[in-house]
């Protein structure tokens, strides 16, 4: 495990503590907690709960409706966000449509996080017919990296790994989503079932290679996909006499 007191801004890190989870940062966060809580409590008053995603995200890049905790079986808080590449993400709408979701939290300073992009792309392609939606959440907002920096970094990943990222990537400028879930370690990948509940959690950072990474995450994906409602084949119309 990583010592949360060590620097997390380290290109060579395997797994890292989430920004803001170190003891020193914790003292600062306690001072800011009241402000953050106030902001969260005020958001629903500013943005109606039944507002459309395109309306909600005009107020904030990320809108978390009801903070919770990362516990197996717990319901994941509803959130709406703008993706880095312009796609709107409405988690609650995905759940209501019965689609399983993989939430992948990462930082560009976390080597083990970056190594998982190829597997996530492959699994999104493979399980898309079963309704799977991978959602990637970047946590470098507390470093004030900015969307253009992360967008450029993703371009480098695509070029180096010869992949095309086929799922939305959220730049969570204030880390609303990971903090709402109580995530303190990266990488963290969460399987969310078709009922919007945490099915399983993957935080491994010492895999031997791409094959082990793919197998580990795919086992997670299969648990989520298994909960999706099965489509009943259409009954052919009777032949006309």
In order along its 241 residues, the chain shows pLDDT tens digits of: 222 322 233 334 466 666 555 544 444 443 333 333 333 332 332 333 443 434 333 333 444 444 445 678 888 888 888 888 878 899 989 989 999 999 999 999 999 999 999 999 999 999 999 999 999 999 998 888 789 999 999 999 999 999 999 999 999 888 888 888 888 889 999 999 988 999 999 988 888 899 999 999 999 999 989 988 775 444 444 445 4
Look at residue 143 in the predicted model and tell me its pLDDT: 83
Look at residue 107 in the predicted model and tell me its pLDDT: 93
Using a cut of 0.75, tell me whether the model's pTM lies above it. no
Look at residue 163 in the predicted model and tell me its pLDDT: 96
The DSSP annotation for 130-178 comes to: GT-EEEEEE-GGGGT--HHHHHHHHHHHHHHHT----S-EEE-TT-HHH
Look at residue 162 in the predicted model and tell me its pLDDT: 96
d(CA 167, CA 170): 10
d(CA 80, CA 108): 23
Look at residue 160 in the predicted model and tell me its pLDDT: 94
CA distances from 201 to 8, 98, 103 (A): 21, 20, 10
Closest listed residue to residue 2, CA positions, set 214, 213, 206: 206
Look at residue 172 in the predicted model and tell me its pLDDT: 87
Look at residue 194 in the predicted model and tell me its pLDDT: 87
Handedness of CA 46, 182, 87, 154 (dihedral sign): positive
Closest listed residue to residue 231, CA positions, set 199, 198, 194, 204: 194
- End-to-end CA gap in the chain: 71
d(CA 194, CA 180): 20
d(CA 154, CA 144): 17
d(CA 231, CA 98): 11
* C-beta atoms surrounding 124 within 10 Å: 19
């Amino acid at each position: 495990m990583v010592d949360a007191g060590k620097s997390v801004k380290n290109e060579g890190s395997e797994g890292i503590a989430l920004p803001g989870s170190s003891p020193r940062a914790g003292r600062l966060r306690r001072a800011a907690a009241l402000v953050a809580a106030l902001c969260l409590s005020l958001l629903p008053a500013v943005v109606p709960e039944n507002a459309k995603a395109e309306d909600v995200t005009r107020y904030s890049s990320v809108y978390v409706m009801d903070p919770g905790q990362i516990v197996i079986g717990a319901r994941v808080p509803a959130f709406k966000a703008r993706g880095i590449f312009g796609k709107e993400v409405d988690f609650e709408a995905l759940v209501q449509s019965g689609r399983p979701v993989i939430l992948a939290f990462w930082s560009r300073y976390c080597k083990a996080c970056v190594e998982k992009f190829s597997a996530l792309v492959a699994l999104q392609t493979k399980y898309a017919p079963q309704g799977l939606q991978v959602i990637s959440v970047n946590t470098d907002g507390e470093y004030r990296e900015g969307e253009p920096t992360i967008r450029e970094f993703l371009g480098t990943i695509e070029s180096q790994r010869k992949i095309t990222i086929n799922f939305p990537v959220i730049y969570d400028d204030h880390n609303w989503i990971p903090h709402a879930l109580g995530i303190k370690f990266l990488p963290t990948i969460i399987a969310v079932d078709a009922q919007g509940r945490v099915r399983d959690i993957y935080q491994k950072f010492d895999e031997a290679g791409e094959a082990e990474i793919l197998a580990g995450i795919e086992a997670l994906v299969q648990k989520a996909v298994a909960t999706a409602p099965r489509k009943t084949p259409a009954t052919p119309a009777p032949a006309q006499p």
